[in-house]
Amino acid sequence: MTMQTLETPVGNRVYYVGPSLDAGPKPTLFYFALSGEDSLQRDPFNQPVQFLKESPIRIFSMTIPGHEDNLPPENAIRVWAEKMAKGEAVIPHFVGCVKEAITFLTPYFIPGKLAIAGLSRGAFIACHVAAICPEISYILGFAPLTKLSYAKEFQGTCEESLNLEHLSAKLCDRTLRFYIGNLDTRVGTEHTFSLIQKLAKAAQEAKIRSPPIELIISPSIGFQGHGTGPDTFQNGVDYLKARLLA
C-alpha cells in the first residue's frame, strides 16, 4: 500500500494508506503503534494495516510522542516520563493534535464507521483520543497499556491521572475489544482485566444493557509476555472489518 501524507491547518502531519481522499468518504481507522510512518509500514507493528490492504478502509496514523526524529522506539515511555517530570503535558497535547486532525478529516469519514486502534502504548493513546472524540464508534487494542503508573518508567511517581480507568464513563458507550497475553508483565494483564470490569460497570450505571466491551486473553508470547502474534492481529482486523464494512 502506498503511503501518503498531508498536513492539517495547524501543521500536524498525518500519514495514510488506502483509497485516495478524492474517492470521498470511506470507512476509516486511526492506528497508533510507533511513528506515523512505521505504524503503517514497519513489520510486524503494521500487521493490522497489512491485513486490511485489500479493503476499502482508509487508515490514518500520526507519530506518537517519543518516536520523533528516529528516537529508539524502546525508549518512548522513558521520554514521556522525562518530559512529564519537567511539567510537559505530553499526552494531552498529542491527543489534542489527533482530535484536530480528526475534525479536519471529518468530510472523508462515513458517519458511524470510524474506528481507532493501537498496539501497547498506541492503544493507550487511542483510548485517550476516543474519550474526547465521541464520533469514534469502535476501539481496538492489542496488548494495551492501560495503567501508565504501572510502567516501569513511571513507578515511584504519582502519575495516576492518565490511567485509563479515569476514562471509563467516557468510553463505556463504545464498541471495544482488547487482546492481552495471560501473563503480560510489561503492561500487566491484571490491569487490562480491571479496566474492562470498570468499563462494564460504568456501562451498567449508564443503563447500557449488554455493552459490547470485550477482552480476549491468549497465551503470552515474546519478551515479558508482551508480544502479539499474527493470528491475534488477524482476528482483530476481522472484528473491525465486520463492523466497518457492514
Q: What is the pLDDT of residue 131?
A: 98
**In percent, how much of the chain has pLDDT > 70?**
100
Q: Tell me the whole-structure pTM to 2 decimals.
A: 0.97
Q: What is the pLDDT of residue 146?
A: 98
**Average pLDDT over the chain, rounded to whole?**
96
pLDDT digits (tens, 9 = 90+) for 83-129: 999 999 999 999 999 999 999 999 999 999 999 999 999 999 999 99
Q: Over 90: is that where the pLDDT of 16 sits?
A: yes
Q: What is the pLDDT of residue 156?
A: 74
pLDDT digits (tens, 9 = 90+) for 29-55: 999 999 999 999 999 999 999 999 989
Instruction: State the DSSP string of the chain.
Output: ---EEEE-TT--EEEEESS-GGG--EEEEEEESSSHHHHHHSTTTTHHHHHTTTSS-EEEE---TT-GGG--GGGHHHHHHHHHHTT--HHHHHHHHHHHHHHHHGGGEEEEEEEEEEETHHHHHHHHHHHH-TT--EEEEES----GGGSTTTTTS---TTSGGGGHHHHTTSEEEEEEETT-TTTTHHHHHHHHHHHHHHHHHTT-SS--EEEEEE---SGGG----HHHHHHHHHHHHHHH--
Q: What is the pLDDT of residue 71?
A: 85
